[in-house]
Structures are given as structure tokens and as C-alpha cells.
Amino acid sequence: MAAKALRCRLGMHKWVLRSSTENGAFHECARCGKMGTSDWGPPVGGTLEDHS
Ligand SMILES: [Zn+2]
């Protein structure tokens, strides 16, 4: 398993908007791959980048 980036360990994830046919749109950390919630927008903490 890959080590988490320092900022991810501090809770500062780099959220990007992803989408899949199964799950629809959701936020995922570009660095560590952590999946965020999609019900109420981007997760708290870190930065949100729009790669659409
Ligand atoms: Zn992360």
C-alpha cells in the first residue's frame, strides 16, 4: 500500500470531482484516493479542484 501524502494525513485532501456509471458523481482525493461524500457537496477539509 502506498503511503499517504503528508497533507492527506493532516486531513487536507485534494478533492476532485469524479464520476462513474455505478456511483454517479462523487469526490475523490487525487493524492490518496479517499472517496468523499457526494450528498452535500465536497467533503470538509483540503482543497477542491475542478478537473472537468
Ligand atoms: Zn487524500
- How many angstroms is it from 29 CA to the middle of ligand 1? 5
CA of 49 to the centre of ligand 1 (A): 13
Distance from the alpha carbon of residue 43 to the mean position of ligand 1, in angstroms: 11
Q: CA distances (Å), 22 to each of 15, 18, 19, 25, in order?
A: 19, 12, 8, 9
Domain boundaries, the chain: 6-49
Instruction: Please tell me the distance from the alpha carbon of residue 48 to that of residue 52, in angstroms, as a whole number.
Output: 12
For residue range 1-52, list pLDDT tens digits in order. 557 789 989 888 888 888 888 878 888 899 999 887 655 555 666 677 766 5
